[in-house]
Amino acid sequence: MSVYREYLKNQVREILTNYGKIDILWLDFSFPGKFGKDHDDWGSVELMKLVRELQPEILVNDRADLKDYAGGWDFTTPEQFKVPEWPTYEGKKIPWETCQTFSGSWGYYRDEHTWKDTKQLLVLLIESVSKGGNLLLNVGPTGRGTIDYRAENALNSMGDWMKFNSRSIYDCTEAPESFSVPDHSLLTYNPKTNRLYIHLLDYPLQNFTLKGYKGKIKYAQFLHDASEIKISAPRGHWVKQELSQNDINLSLPVNKPPVEIPVIELILED
């Protein structure tokens, strides 16, 4: 391991010296224990000192087995599963991103047949942002160095959705606790513009109730076409359901808009 440790250190030095400012260093992976490698095997402490010296503003993930070492990591990286809530460490929310694949493999695999569909990928993206995180989506090139047609199709489909709905993703994070999450939806929030985004995973019928939203919204519209959505008092007199004077109703078109996941943009009161 001593030979490899020196090789690793020299490689990191070269990367962080010869290519200008580096924003992120993504290390992979430590498995402390009998059959794995830990921070002593990698020389992680000395390696991280070198990283911080060469690139003081760099962000480093948490895979060098330095969770309890000051400055040993900046963000955590759950892999191949969706977190139930914003991850925490010692009781505090921490920066995070999930690393995921289009299918079951990290590299190109010709005979892989478990590719996620467009809606699965978009939900993965939206849900990550809705919990304050980032999505790292892996693409494995073919032996010719090109992107597999299945990955290209998936990226194009996501791009088609992002073309008009990217405002609900970029610069967005978890919504404030004062906004309840409607059924079959995901919320994202842009704190800079004070706008809330409702992602309709299962398109509702015409009347869409937002509980506790009264007095909080200036204007509502669909993101894909910027068409206005009428806001009114809640409608529930035909069914036995509890409606509050603090609820509002959004009048949606009967037919689902022609996008995989429609997004409602709410411009909030100051």
Q: At residue 7, does pLDDT exceed 70?
A: yes
Residue 115 lies in a domain: yes
Give the integer Cα–Cα distance in Å for 214 and 249: 9
Identify the pLDDT of residue 32. 85
Residue 243 lies in a domain: yes
Residue 178 lies in a domain: no
Please check whether residue 217 is in contact with residue 252, taking contact to mean a CB–CB distance below 8 angstroms: no
Q: What value does the mean pLDDT of the chain take?
A: 94
> Looking at the 3D structure of the chain, how many domains does it have?
3
Of the candidates 115, 148, 171, which is a domain's last residue?
171
Q: Whole-prediction pTM value? A: 0.91
HSE-CB of 196 using CA atoms within 13 angstroms: 24
Residue 180 lies in a domain: no
Q: What is the per-residue pLDDT across 142-180, written as a single tens digit (0 to 9) for each?
A: 999 999 999 999 999 999 999 999 999 999 999 999 999
CATH number of the domain where residue 213 is located: 2.60.40.1180
Q: What is the mean pLDDT of residues 233-237?
A: 67
Return the exposure string of 68-101: e unless at least 16 CB atoms fall within 10 Å of the residue's CB, then b.
eeeebbebbbeeeeeeeeebeeeeeebbbbbbbb
Residue 10 lies in a domain: yes
* Statement to judge: residues 165 and 81 lie in one domain: yes
Please report which confidence band the pLDDT of residue 204 belongs to, taking 50, 70 and 90 as the band edges: very high
Domain extent for 111: 77-171
Q: What is the per-residue pLDDT across 16-37, written as a single tens digit (0 to 9) for each?
A: 999 999 999 999 988 888 888 8
Residue 139 lies in a domain: yes
* Statement to judge: residues 87 and 48 lie in one domain: no
